Amino acid sequence: MIRSIGIDVGGSTLRVAEVDLRSGQAEEGMQSIPMPAGARPDDVLEVLARAVERYPSELPVGLAFPTVAQHGYARTAANVHDSWIGLDVQREFSRRCHRPVVFLNDADAAGVAEMNFGAGRQLEARRVVVLTFGTGIGSALFLDGALWPNTELGHLMLPGVTDVDGEGYAAASVRTRLALDWPAWTQRVNRYLHELHRLLWPDVFILGGAVSERAEEWMPLLDSPARLLPAALRGHAGVVGAAWAAATDRMAR
Ligand code: BGC
């Protein structure tokens, strides 16, 4: 399979594109659709089923979502409606769009995209942590290129920060919500990275999410014993990784 459809569901935008898996590039005409109000399963899956109608019917779909995605089921719902929890999303979306579907966590999708086509591609490092900074913080952990799926390191509590978890303290959305300038927000990211480093000792952090498009504003202000790399696929990583998962069927189990 050299082409498939990738969908990346974010807190505010749903991105849908056909992806060429030889290059890891999304085709022209990526669709960006606003998240339906309330982010309820019925509304989101309906909008997505309509969005994939335009692609050739033999192409499978990878659906990357901001939840723990286990054996096709959503197990958590941090930034979407609670009624996703316990839903067999893989089966339900496949029924609606009449295609094979692989359902996976959004940060895992971004992670496999970076490792196969982006910043992690030529890395010699054994232990790599990919982080996405957006509405929340997503994490994907790799050892020798293999993913430990569904790590939820955005919810780590930081020493001395008692009112919110890691993502409540340092997600990109916090920068916007509190109108922090880049240095003030980066200080928070440093604190988060230090705690992750203290616990996991990775060789490399790859930092992604929409803010990676402005990496020059904040990455020089970061400070970590690990090597720090900006994500290469930027806002497209989730879509590309979801399409890769659909084509390889690697994440369905
Ligand atoms: C969710 C994760 C997700 C991350 C990034 C967190 O709030 O718990 O599953 O990967 O946000 O979207």
Which residue lies with its CA nearest to atom 4 of ligand 1?
A: 138
d(CA 124, CA 110): 19
Q: Is the dihedral of CA 216, 127, 225, 161 positive or negative?
A: positive
Ligand 1 proximity of 136 Cβ (cutoff 6 Å)? yes
Ligand 1 proximity of 151 Cβ (cutoff 6 Å)? no
Atom of ligand 1 nearest to the CA of 79: 7
Q: What percent of the chain has pLDDT over 70?
A: 98
CA of 56 relative to ligand 1 center, distance in Å: 30
Query: Is 137 a domain residue?
Result: yes
Q: 191's torsion region: left (phi>0), alpha (psi -120 to 50) or beta?
A: alpha
Pocket test of ligand 1: the residue of 89, 167, 169 to mutate, having most ligand atoms within 8 Å of its CB, is 167
Decide if pLDDT at 252 tops 80. Answer: no
pLDDT at 170: 98
Segment 133-190, tens digit of pLDDT: 999 999 999 999 999 999 999 999 999 999 999 999 999 999 999 999 999 999 999 9
CA of 58 relative to ligand 1 center, distance in Å: 30
Query: Is 115 a domain residue?
Result: no
Can you tell me whether residue 8 is helix, strand or coil?
A: strand
On whether both 15 and 105 belong to a single domain, the answer is yes
Which residue lies with its CA nearest to atom 8 of ligand 1?
A: 78
On whether both 8 and 105 belong to a single domain, the answer is yes
pTM attached to this predicted model: 0.96
**164-168, 222-226, 247-251: which range is least confident on average?**
247-251
In CATH, what number is assigned to the domain containing residue 103?
3.30.420.40
Q: Is 203 exposed, middle or buried (0-12, 13-18, 19+ CB in 10 A)?
A: middle
Instruction: Show the domain range for 192.
Output: 123-231
Q: What percent of the chain has pLDDT over 90?
A: 93
